[in-house]
Amino acid sequence: MTASCTSKNQSDNTPASTSVSANTVVASATGQQPEAGIISQDIHINQIGYKIDDKKIAVIKGVYKSFEVFDAETGKAVLVKETGGKVSDESSGDTVCYADFSELKASGSYFISVEGLGKSYDFKIGESTLFSKVNDALVKALYYQRCGIVLDSKYAGEYIHGSCHTGKAILYGNEEVQLDVGGGWHDAGDYGRYVVPAAVTAADLMLAYEFYPQSFTSPLNIPESSNNIPDILDEAKYGLEWLLKMQDEKSGGVYHKVTSRNFPDIAVMPDIDVDDLFIMPVSTTATADFAAVTAMASRIFKDFDPDFSKKCLAAAVKAWNWLEANKSFIAFKNPQDVSSGEYGDSSGDDERAWAAAELLRATGIKKYNEYFKANYQTGGFGLGWQNVSGFAAIAYLFADTETADSGKADEIRKAWLEKADMFVSTAQKNGYLLAMHKMEYNWGSNMNVANHAMHMLIADKLSNSEKYTESAADCAHYLLGRNTLNQSYITGYGSQKVMQPHHRPSAGDSVKDPVPGLLVGGPDSALEDDSARASLSGKAPAQCYIDDITSFSTNEVATYWNSAAIFVFSYMGSN
């Protein structure tokens, strides 16, 4: 397997900028279509396409004077224009220029040609349904991650397997106790189920529905598709029902995870994985995240499933009572004989604040507001599993004005917008127009991309500014191929697809293509597995990715990476 890192000699031509009237068909500078099949890996576009009225920019590695856009169906040039910009990009080490074809508004299939370089992959210009299909696939991928049920061909197509992990799990340290904790999602490329990331996954799904409900009107062909509940909420409920099983009935505390002691081999299908399952002890972070997401669920499901809503709220209050009775931080560390994912943390302050904010929003009870005001530290605004302060902020910012403190909300709003402005500023300096600093290409960097976009989309809800939505869209363009590697990072989508994700069902089944709709982790400059170290040493941060099944640090998948991308593509498909 080879690393997805490319290098070519570049022209030293100096770019200039010019304009062409919208929808004007112009003669080709070369007079003919580029030779078919000569694809340049240095012309970077969103390989799915662009919406009609959006900015449409291709990033060209090197410096060239002009570019042409061809109709892929007719082979005729429809636009010729000079490039703009000459930007040195620190994250990739590339010098780039830009092909801005925003004035092209006719629906169709196109490619870009640069004389002396070649042509881009084909892409489309069209309605938001271009991205609705991607979003649907991202959501449907969570169905493929479901644990405890048969995936049959009626819903899963080729990607079938028998029921898995249906036996009772052993309470670690007390092997006489066995509990039914079936269900939930396989967290990532392995078969572990973890409360902390599952809570973040479910929260992202419910927020995506709350902010962009118009993106979830089409059924996804899952078992619940005919129940008059949007399928994205059905998927969230599947995860939430498992979370409810992870709460200790007596204390209200929540067990941290259920896994086998070790990861199974890479090609083991879930229904063949029969190692003993162990429930790990209660932790502060699991309990607080659980309280937050079940409180959120009580609000979101109130009109769709009142009984489930009440059940979630009761569970959230019970978990909060545990937090009040256990004020000291109870961390989780893997026992010596367990090597599955740890999802450990050094503090539960952000998780507790999230729980308080969600319980305030769900109930309006004053004590939650008092706790939040006294304990929430404005800033940071994490939207990943290790820092959930951003979820806490969102809950508080969008709570009823009668329950939240206006002064605290204004403080958070101001800081949120300041961070959004920082992301926009970072994107303006980035060669690929991406709101990412070169130090952020770590394990799961594509989650960083999606979470930055999510932050800016929330900022747009707070201030209605086009600069935020445009920069968020640029993050989506990056994930679908407008990056230094010309790599689409979502399985099944784009011209240069991920084919070897670190994902056991994709490795173990007999299907050529991997399960579609999975967002892989992306470049990791720390080179944290043998394949990455062997192939990517010396590469710039944004180039440290390899489409290799053994590269768990760059090519694994995770439900909470998918869910962050779902929020972004919910926006992309909403207008």
Burial 221-237 (b: 16+ CB within 10 A, else e): ebbbeeeebbbbbbbbb
What pLDDT score does 6 carry? 32
- Write the DSSP symbol of residue 142: H
- Distance from C-alpha of 203 to C-alpha of 298, rounded to nearest angstrom: 12
Choose the catalytic residue: 190, 358, 548, 556. 556
Which residue from 228, 45, 215, 229 is spatially nearest to 121, judged by alpha carbons? 45
- Write the DSSP symbol of residue 118: E
Q: Domain 1-127 belongs to what topology?
A: Immunoglobulin-like (2.60.40)
**Per-residue pLDDT tens digits of the chain, which is 575 residues long:** 333 333 333 333 323 333 333 333 333 334 445 554 599 999 999 999 999 999 999 999 999 999 999 999 999 999 999 999 999 999 999 999 999 999 999 999 999 999 999 999 999 999 989 999 999 999 999 999 999 999 999 999 999 999 999 999 999 999 899 999 999 999 999 999 999 999 999 999 999 999 999 999 999 999 999 999 999 999 999 999 999 999 999 999 999 999 999 999 999 999 999 999 999 999 999 999 999 999 999 999 999 999 999 999 999 999 999 999 999 999 999 999 999 999 999 999 999 999 999 999 999 999 999 999 999 999 899 999 999 999 999 999 999 988 999 999 999 999 999 999 999 999 999 999 999 999 999 999 999 999 999 999 999 999 989 999 999 999 999 999 999 999 999 999 999 999 999 999 999 999 999 999 999 999 999 999 999 999 999 999 999 999 999 999 999 999 999 999 999 999 999 97
- For the chain, the structural domain boundaries read 1-127, 130-243+254-264+271-323+330-486+555-572
Q: Under 8 Å CB-to-CB from 317, ≥6 apart: which residues?
A: 291, 359
- 460 as an active site residue: the answer is no
Decide: 76 and 106 in contact? Cβ < 8 Å.
no
Decide: 310 and 374 in contact? Cβ < 8 Å.
no
- 210 as an active site residue: the answer is no
Q: Under 8 Å CB-to-CB from 540, ≥6 apart: which residues?
A: 91, 92, 93, 94, 438, 484, 525
Question: Is 1.50.10.10 the CATH number for 130-243+254-264+271-323+330-486+555-572?
Answer: yes
Q: Which two tokens stand for residue 417?
A: 């917008």
pTM of the model: 0.93
Which residue from 11, 120, 106 is spatially nearest to 68, judged by alpha carbons? 120
The single-letter code of the amino acid at 305 is D
What pLDDT score does 401 carry? 85
